[in-house]
Structure 1
Amino acid sequence: MRKLLYALAASLLLITFTAQAAPEFRSDHPERYTVVKGDTLWDISGRFLNNPWYWPEIWHVNPQVENPHLIYPGDVLALVYIDGEARVTKVTSRGVEKLSPQVRSEPLGTPIPAIPLDAISSFLSEARIVDPETLQQAPYVLEGEDSRIITGAGDRVYVRGEKPADKVGIYRRSKVFNDPQTGEFLGLEARSIARGNVTAENGDVLTVSITRSSEEVRIGDRLLVQEDRRINTQFQPSAPARQVEGQMISVEGGVNQIGQYDVVAINRGTREGLEAGNVLAVFQAGNLVRDPVTDETIELPSERAGLLMVFRAYEKVSYGLVLQASRVLSIGDKVRNP
């Protein structure tokens, strides 16, 4: 009997969760909205929905529009009803777009991004997750030209090791990520210092001309194949495909207090089903208090305190941008499905 009651309770919880997992339109949502330069897909989703991560479920793709998943400044979006369900789609002054094949006479311009690119663009070019062996075995800087130990853009450096490619990135070991709960090694963050071209080989000594640098190149910095760091602007805000629970384990810049538009690392990645565009709620850890009656130490419940969106996912670690923060966030705060 008890097992039957447990099964019924679990079923009710699942039904409740499923019922709640649906787009919820704002009471003040617009009937039409004209996209302007500077908008992000997250901003627009928030104009229509209380839960913007359900945008994919309300977006109606017009199959007769070129690049139908992209939204550009000047596009008009409107709320329409299709088979009785509210949807948002591109429209013109004549209604829903019905385009026949033709050559567009005006340039498209740049589609709006999912999140503010100026908040993450520099970070995307400066960090990557690698395994320690890859970095340890990579070619390393011996010295700069004229025996200098610190060099920058426009200089040459001498490197020892096997050439990884003609175009290379110069990286420096940064943070080691371990799971705060299990201690599992999650990855090593390598910070990009410079980019360059291999211009000569003399045995296992390479000459590298530095074409761009974010800081000084030092002896011991490592060469890796230059990673393609083009920013994907086409992902959509979405809820993770399955239940995810993790923690924020690092923040870019090493600050103590985390707020809106800070870049954070979390201890969950593609193996847990995360992908770019997934939105997670941030829960501030509850305080530890002493029970005055039993003298036990009790952890108070976590409280929802913000939202973040994953913009880059590796196997065990993901980077996300904090989009909302109702209070100061900290390393160790929990993340889970919104």
Structure 2
Amino acid sequence: MDEQAKRRQDGPPKWRRTWAGGLALWLAATLAQAQGLSWEHGLRSDAPERYTVVRGDTLWDISGRFLRHPWQWPEVWQVNPQIRNPHLIYPGDVITLQDCNGRPCLGLERGQNVVRLSPEVRRVPVREAIEPIPLDTVRHFLRDHRVVDDPDTLDELAYVVAGNDRRIISGAGDRIYARGELQRGQRYGIYRVGERYHDAASGEALGLELISIGRAQAERSEDDIALMQVLSASQEVRNEDIVLPLEERELVSEFVPRAPDRDIEGTILAVPGGVRFIGRLQVVALDRGRRDGLETGHVLQVEQQGERVVDPRTGESLRLPGTDAGLVMVFRPYEKMSYGLVMQATRTLEVGDRLYNPRRGVGVAQR
């Protein structure tokens, strides 16, 4: 008899029904939300009865140990507004599988004592808290990339016109001249024009990618020409590089993965850096954005396009049905496009693969 059948026959063990921190509530609601997940549905057949959290875990990983669909994180803090941080969990905490009125739920044990849920926040260094997703990948990307919604405004942006002493390229510590409305004493980002994103069907311009190469400070200006000092540079600064006010790109660390509120149909537009084949934890550009209803944390299913085959009887060229192949979570939406992180992939994804709302009844095995 398998473990799942045994649970149905014997009934759930009589563990203590206790809660701790935002995570316990988050995990419990995930399993007992409105969809009515039961011992037979929603729970992985190999879900452990206890799991000890270790450094390097993420909330997505932990959820995936118990749930078939780890993206189904609840929005419980909407009905519990006092819980500002939904991921209060630390290495050494123990997640336990429990029974809550006939449905599976999860509790949290911390040390020898049971910690009860309350609006209080345990004050520990941020570095100790378990992250919701692998945030380092996203942080590094946001540090180096941004998007201008309207590429036609490129000619209106400030830009480098020359290096000091007629230098063609400049670096940290050098002075450069830039043309545009630049304020003395203000710090700016220096960017190089990257990919221009367009809708494959309509040809509409979706955004212009800018790649960060350094920072500079305006020292003085005359008319519309400013003398600037390069404070830092990851690449050489060249003429025509774009100069923009630094973007507020503080990473939202409390991601709430969830399905979009409206139906979404789109495609993987590109992979920054020019890569075509895509795997787990790679950043991808999507051809849908805020105007389409996408927000930070929205999860989309990836459908890999079916192969083309020839009908052996009629000779017709046929396209086979697509196959669900992964999950992408949006972490930086712009007006007409977004950046997402591939959270799961059962096969190598590709540019052009279709995106749509995840189906709750269909899981994607994590790889």
For 1:139 and 1:60, locate their aligned partners in 2 and report how far apart those are by CA, in whole Å: 43
Q: Which amino acid in the other structure matches residue 328 of structure 1?
A: T
Question: What does 1:1-338 align with in structure 2 at a 5 Å threshold?
Answer: 24-56=42-74, 67-74=84-91, 75-81=93-99, 85-88=103-106, 90-92=108-110, 93-98=112-117, 104=123, 107=125, 109-130=127-148, 131-163=150-182, 166-338=186-358
Q: Which amino acid in the other structure matches residue 197 of structure 2?
A: F
The worse-fitting range, judged by mean Cα deviation, of 139-148 and 164-173 is 164-173
For 2:195 and 2:319, locate their aligned partners in 1 and report how far apart those are by CA, in whole Å: 29
- Name 1:14's counterpart in structure 2: none
The worse-fitting range, judged by mean Cα deviation, of 169-178 and 128-137 is 128-137
State the SS of the aligned residue for 1:53.
coil
For 1:294 and 1:102, locate their aligned partners in 2 and report how far apart those are by CA, in whole Å: 67
Counterpart contact for 2:58–2:133, Cα < 8 Å = yes
For 2:137 and 2:102, locate their aligned partners in 1 and report how far apart those are by CA, in whole Å: 39
**How many positions carry a matched residue from both structures?**
319
Deviation per residue, 1:181-237 (Å, 9 max, x gap): 222221111222211211222221112222222211110011111002222111122
State the SS of the aligned residue for 1:260.
coil
For 2:135 and 2:120, locate their aligned partners in 1 and report how far apart those are by CA, in whole Å: 32
| Structure-2 change in CA distance of 1:322 and 1:150 (3 Å) | same
The Cα shift of 1:248 comes to 0.6
The worse-fitting range, judged by mean Cα deviation, of 176-185 and 31-40 is 31-40
Q: Which amino acid in the other structure matches residue 69 of structure 2?
A: N
| Structure-2 change in CA distance of 1:314 and 1:292 (3 Å) | same
Deviation per residue, 1:254-286 (Å, 9 max, x gap): 123211222111111122221122222211111
Counterpart contact for 1:72–1:109, Cα < 8 Å = no
For 1:278 and 1:234, locate their aligned partners in 2 and report how far apart those are by CA, in whole Å: 13
The worse-fitting range, judged by mean Cα deviation, of 245-254 and 107-116 is 107-116
Counterpart contact for 1:279–1:310, Cα < 8 Å = yes
The Cα shift of 1:294 comes to 3.4
Q: Which amino acid in the other structure matches residue 196 of structure 1?
A: A
| Structure-2 change in CA distance of 1:20 and 1:143 (3 Å) | farther
Q: Which amino acid in the other structure matches residue 156 of structure 2?
A: Q
Which residues of structure 1 form unaligned runs of 5+? 1-17
Q: Which amino acid in the other structure matches residue 266 of structure 1?
A: L
Root-mean-square deviation (CA, aligned residues, Å) is 3.0
Counterpart contact for 1:164–1:225, Cα < 8 Å = no
Q: Which amino acid in the other structure matches residue 206 of structure 1?
A: A
**Percentage of identical aligned residues:** 45
The Cα shift of 1:162 comes to 0.8
Q: Which amino acid in the other structure matches residue 163 of structure 2?
A: G
State the SS of the aligned residue for 1:120.
helix
State the SS of the aligned residue for 2:73.
helix
Q: Which amino acid in the other structure matches residue 221 of structure 2?
A: E
| Structure-2 change in CA distance of 1:216 and 1:101 (3 Å) | closer
Which residues of structure 2 form unaligned runs of 5+? 1-33, 359-367
For 2:43 and 2:339, locate their aligned partners in 1 and report how far apart those are by CA, in whole Å: 29
For 1:103 and 1:297, locate their aligned partners in 2 and report how far apart those are by CA, in whole Å: 62
State the SS of the aligned residue for 1:24.
coil
Q: TM-score, normalization: structure 2?
A: 0.77
